[in-house]
Amino acid sequence: MLIVSLVTFAWASSLHAFYDLGIVLRGSGTFSGGIGAPAVEYEGESGQIVMYFESPVPTAEVPAGCANSYQIGRATSQDGVTWTIDEAPVWSADPTAGSPRACSVAQPAVLFDGTRWNLFYSASKVPNEGETTNAPSGIGWAVSDDGITWSPQEEQAVPFAGSPLGLASATALNGTLYLSWASDPDLWMMSRPLNGGAWTAPERIVDHAAVGEWGGDWVLGPSLLCNEAADNQLGMLVGGDSTSGVRSLAWGDSANAHAWTFKEPISEGTLDATTLNHWDTLRAGLGFVLWYSRTDPTSGLKAVGVALTDTRLGTIVPRVCPNPWANLDTGDTGDTGTIDTGDTAVTVDTADSGAGADTDTADTAFPCDCVDEQGCNCATGGSGVAGFAAALGPLASLARRRDNA
């Protein structure tokens, strides 16, 4: 039986490799021009994985005066492989004169903070006279109660200040919202209380010149995560381009959001980082799932693929700590209120060995004999990527058991 202390793994021990499973989502309908820049979050109440992505607007629909336009769409999945795309975009350009997003919204980042959904995005406006590309305005911020209907919170949470910026990512730890982004050639961050207040001043958190040759040209695409069981609770998957133009992915962690320690690039597995444009990752038990965008060689359009680590997979974990979905009522027999006190929200038996002493139907239906689903690596039960093993076969169960490495 897996012991509970195993989940207090070091962040880096679980990121030796990513195994590429290929493209799982292509654009269609409103998004037939291709989809990219996936941003992913776990919706614990429904058990869905929710993805936001960018997609080009058809030329005939580009706002007047703009060089081009992108919109943000949404898709949902129960297993991270089979996706259903919403028909209409959930966030678009605002044609109002002078709007910071008069031309385009792109490069989404998403976070559910325990109360509401937060969407960060790169925005652009009408080009200056004589210019042939949209004028960048910065990173905007919108909020939503349901993740579908959005309202602007700050149209320029991070204003453009002369250097290219974007590729934002957000997480939250113990009531503080953290927002990071790439500003060529480094990574920056600021934070604010979840319940309101001012942002801190932007702070350079990753200097490309200090991470090593793998990021010597620039570092980009931070994917922020939180793990309340780790010593360093904040983690970040980040891309780096070497001075010779080779792109790779590396992992870093931090105890305070200011000082980050990065390991060597992730070089094992089958994922070719040089083909990736954007990416986002979520923790899944003792492993990780990575969604990425790259050019589909068949259509020549952007599409979204997925890759897995070879460590034990379990239920998807949202970005925020503490987990806002941890105390949901599972609906099992014996629940007495809004919080399930008899077993965990993923219906894993924590009270006995699972050998016959269970008294509710959810526990007896779960095939694993373990303390926590994070160690089960089972094909059924729970939610999120617990279904990966069934959907993807042997590749999802590589399980080199590097959990103690």
CA diameter of the chain? 75
- Residue 130 belongs to what domain range? 15-321
Find out whether 318 and 45 touch, Cβ atoms under 8 Å.
no
The rounded distance, in Å, linking the Cα atoms of 128 and 261 is 41
Cβ pair 70, 54 in contact under 8 A: yes
In a domain? residue 335: no
Secondary structure of residue 388 in the 3-state scheme: helix
Instruction: Decide: residue 28, CB within 10 A, 0-12 exposed, 13-18 middle, 19+ buried.
Output: exposed
Separation between Cα atoms, residue 282 and residue 307, nearest integer Å: 11
In this predicted structure, what is the pLDDT of residue 10? 53
Please name the residue that has the structure tokens 């974007």: 166
Answer yes or no: pTM beyond 0.85: no
| Position 357 in a domain | no
Residue 250 in contact with residue 266, Cβ under 8 Å?
yes
The pLDDT of residue 241 is 97
pLDDT at position 358, please? 37
The answer to whether residue 337 is domain-embedded is no
Q: Helix or strand or coil: residue 58? A: coil
Per-residue pLDDT of the chain (405 residues; tens, 9 = 90+): 222 223 334 554 557 799 999 999 999 999 999 999 999 999 988 889 999 999 999 999 999 999 999 999 999 999 899 999 999 999 999 999 899 999 999 999 999 999 999 999 999 999 988 788 999 999 999 999 999 999 999 999 999 988 889 999 999 999 999 999 999 999 999 999 999 999 999 999 999 999 999 999 999 999 999 998 888 999 999 999 999 999 999 999 999 999 999 988 998 899 999 999 999 999 988 889 999 999 999 999 999 999 998 777 778 889 999 999 887 654 544 444 343 334 333 333 333 333 333 343 333 322 333 233 333 333 333 333 444 544 444 444 443 333 333
Answer yes or no: is 315 within a domain: yes
- pLDDT of 309: 87
Calpha distance 146→102 (Å, rounded): 24
List Cα–Cα distances, 111 to 11, 43, 147, 330, 337, in angstroms: 20, 10, 10, 23, 27
Separation of alpha carbons 171 and 244, rounded Å:
32
In a domain, 327, yes or no: no
Residue 312's pLDDT is: 72
What is the DSSP code string of 283-338? Answer: EETTEEEEEEEEE-TTTSSEEEEEEE-SSPP-SEE-SEES-TTTT-----TT--SS
DSSP state of 57: P
Considering the domain boundaries, does residue 274 fall inside one? yes
**Which CATH number fits the domain that encloses residue 20?**
2.115.10.20
Q: Which two tokens stand for residue 283?
A: 């923790």
Residue 402 lies in a domain: no
CA dist., res. 111 & res. 132, Å (int)? 33
Q: So what's the pLDDT on residue 166?
A: 94
First to last CA, the chain: 18
The domain total for the chain is 1
135 forms beta bridges with: 125
| 392 CB neighbour count, 10 Å cutoff | 20
Residue 336 lies inside a defined structural domain of this protein:
no
Task: Show Cβ contacts of residue 393 under 8 Å, excluding neighbours closer than 6 positions.
Answer: none
Rounded Cα distance, 303 and 29, in Å: 14
